[in-house]
């Protein structure tokens, strides 16, 4: 554009000289001059437009760079998030594996307990089948009739502890009968022992009470009593002791409001009672066998 203007100016100069030499008119010179002025104005506009265009290009480039930076930042965050998700998944998998391991250990621990509970239930069922706790007046099979009573002592170590602290020194069983229309009886224990055997032995007594059939029974009633700890391990090695002979007044008709009792202070050492042969799941079974010898 600048070269074009320069050429026009040169042509204008030549034209001016020629016009002077030949006597050209003034209007022609004015046209050429206006044309040069218009071209210069266009050139200025073009220069200004170029400056503005470059400024716009720089602004656009800056905007592009800004958005490129933002896009890169978003991509970096996405990559970082993906890494965090992967790490979290690894952590979850690790904890899941640990929980599965703990669950397996718990199940392995519970299996023996299930077996023990099943054994205990079977033992209770067997005991209930032979016990007379829920049948207060048992059938008489012959003149020397025998009554069996089984007493389940749950939480026996707690009983010992309560007796030791003085909270509950004596525990009574449910009542039972020696035979049809016979004596009303119950067992009585000192879990922590009594007398000379206090703190070392289990003491067991038989208590004779006045029952509802006392007035129609034939007195005196003579009987012997065997008391045993039941073997819960193999059912063969029961710990058996015969109670001392009943005092004479125990064979007579009981008086209302009075009880007659006798037994064995040193029935069994506490160490024997709480041995795993006789105590399973903190439960002990005591069996009383009452044999009627004469009536």
Q: Are 173 and 186 in contact (CB under 8 A)?
A: yes
Distance of alpha carbon 103 from alpha carbon 91, whole angstroms: 18
- Residue 118's pLDDT is what? 55
**In this predicted model, which residue has the larger pLDDT, 206 or 183?**
206
Average pLDDT over residues 30-44: 75
Is pLDDT of 11 > 80?
no
Token pair recorded at residue 216 = 């129609």
Question: pLDDT category, 127, cuts 50, 70, 90?
Answer: very low
CATH number at residue 209: 2.60.210.10
- Residue 284's pLDDT is what? 95
Domain boundary among 73, 88, 111: 73
Is pLDDT of 189 > 90?
yes
Domain annotation covers residue 78: no
258 and 177 together in one domain? yes
Name the domain count of the chain: 2
Q: What is the pTM of this model?
A: 0.49
Domain annotation covers residue 269: yes
Domain boundary among 32, 56, 73: 73
- Residue 177's pLDDT is what? 82
247-273 tens-digit pLDDT: 655 556 666 555 778 889 999 999 999
Q: Hey, how many other C-beta atoms are within 10 angstroms of the C-beta on 279?
A: 18
Domain annotation covers residue 263: yes
Is pLDDT of 64 > 90?
no
159 and 247 together in one domain? yes
Domain annotation covers residue 251: yes
Token pair recorded at residue 208 = 């004779």
Range among 76-85, 122-131, 260-269 with highest mean pLDDT value = 260-269
Is pLDDT of 15 > 60?
no
Domain annotation covers residue 180: yes
87-111 tens-digit pLDDT: 888 888 887 777 787 777 777 777 6
Question: pLDDT category, 290, cuts 50, 70, 90?
Answer: confident
What is the span of the domain harbouring residue 63? 2-73
Question: pLDDT category, 40, cuts 50, 70, 90?
Answer: confident
Q: Is the dihedral of CA 180, 136, 186, 154 positive or negative?
A: positive
137 and 273 together in one domain? yes
Domain annotation covers residue 117: no
DSSP codes of every residue in 246-259: PPGGGGSPPPTT--
**What's 141-207 look like in SS3?**
CCCCCEEEEEEEECCHHHHHHHHHHCCCCCEECCCEECCCCCCEEEEEEECCCCHHHCCCEEEEEEE
Mean pLDDT score across all residues of the chain: 76
Show the beta-strand stretches assigned E in the chain. Answer: 146-153, 171-172, 176-177, 184-190, 201-209, 222-229, 239-242, 260-269, 279-280, 283-294
Average pLDDT over residues 6-27: 55
Sorted by sequence, the CB contacts under 8 Å of residue 270 that are 6+ apart come out as 160, 192, 193, 200, 201, 202
Range with the poorest average pLDDT among 19-33, 114-128, 173-187: 114-128
């Amino acid at each position: 554009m600048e070269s074009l203007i320069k050429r026009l100016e040169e042509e204008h100069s030549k034209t001016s000289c020629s016009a002077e030499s030949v006597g050209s008119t003034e209007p022609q010179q004015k046209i050429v001059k206006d044309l040069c002025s218009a071209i210069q104005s266009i050139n200025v506009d073009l220069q200004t437009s170029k400056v503005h265009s470059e400024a716009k290009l720089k602004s656009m480039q800056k905007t592009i760079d800004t958005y490129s930076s933002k896009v890169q930042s978003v991509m970096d965050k996405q990559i970082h998030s993906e890494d965090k998700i992967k790490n979290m998944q690894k952590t979850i998998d690790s904890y899941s594996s640990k929980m599965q391991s703990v669950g397996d250990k718990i199940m392995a621990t519970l299996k023996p307990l299930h077996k023990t509970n099943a054994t205990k239930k079977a033992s209770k069922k067997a005991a209930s089948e032979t016990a007379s706790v829920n049948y207060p007046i048992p059938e008489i099979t012959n003149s020397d009739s025998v009554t069996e009573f089984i007493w389940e002592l749950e939480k026996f170590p707690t009983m010992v502890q309560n007796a030791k602290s003085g909270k509950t020194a004596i525990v009574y069983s449910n009542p039972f009968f020696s035979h049809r229309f016979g004596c009303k009886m119950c067992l009585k224990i000192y879990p922590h022992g009594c007398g000379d055997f206090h703190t070392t032995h289990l003491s067991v007594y038989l208590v004779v009470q006045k029952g509802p059939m006392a007035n129609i029974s034939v007195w005196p009633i003579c009987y012997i009593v065997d008391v045993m700890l039941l073997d819960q391990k193999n059912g063969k090695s029961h710990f058996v002791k015969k109670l001392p002979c009943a005092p004479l007044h125990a064979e007579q008709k009981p008086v209302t409001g009075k009880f007659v009792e006798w037994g064995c202070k040193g029935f069994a050492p506490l160490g024997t009672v709480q041995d795993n042969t006789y105590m399973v799941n903190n439960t002990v079974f005591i069996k009383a066998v009452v044999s009627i010898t004469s009536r």
